[in-house]
Amino acid sequence: MKNLTAIEFKNQIEEDPNAVIIDVRSPEEEAEGLIDNSTNINLMDPSFADKVKALDPEKNYYVYCKSGGRSASACGFMESHGLNTFNLDGGIIAWNQL
C-alpha cells in the first residue's frame, strides 16, 4: 500500500490506464461526496472479503474513505490478497479541498 496526498491520488488516477477507484465508506456516507467513477465496496459489509477476492489482480486500486483510516485497513486486506493498492491520505475530506 502506498499513501498518496489528494493531488498525487488525482494525478496518478489520470495517468494510470489500469486505475480502479474504490470507495470503502457506507452508502449513507456517499452524500458527503464521491470521486467520479468510483465503485462502492463498503468495508463494514459482510460481503467485503468476497468482493475483494473477485477483483482483477492486473488492476491498480485507488482506495478512499472519509479520512483515510478505513481505506488504509482495506488496502492492507486487499494487498494480502495480491492486489496493488493506493490509499488516499486524508480521504474524501482531503479530496474535497482540491
- Please report the pLDDT score of residue 31 as a whole number: 84
Q: How many structural domains are present in the chain?
A: 1
Residue with cell 494525478: 11
* pLDDT tens profile 34-79: 999 999 999 999 999 999 999 999 999 999 999 999 999 999 999 9
The CATH number for 23's domain is 3.40.250.10
The DSSP result for 7-43, as a single string, is HHHHHHHHH-TTEEEEE-S-GGGGGG---TTEEE--T
Check whether 32 has a pLDDT greater than 90: no
Whole-number Å distance between alpha carbons of 84 and 91 = 18
Q: Identify the domain containing residue 54 by its residue range.
A: 2-95
Cell numbers at 18, concatenated? 489500469
Q: How much is the pTM?
A: 0.97
C-alpha 16/C-alpha 3 separation (Å) is: 16
pLDDT on residue 10: 98
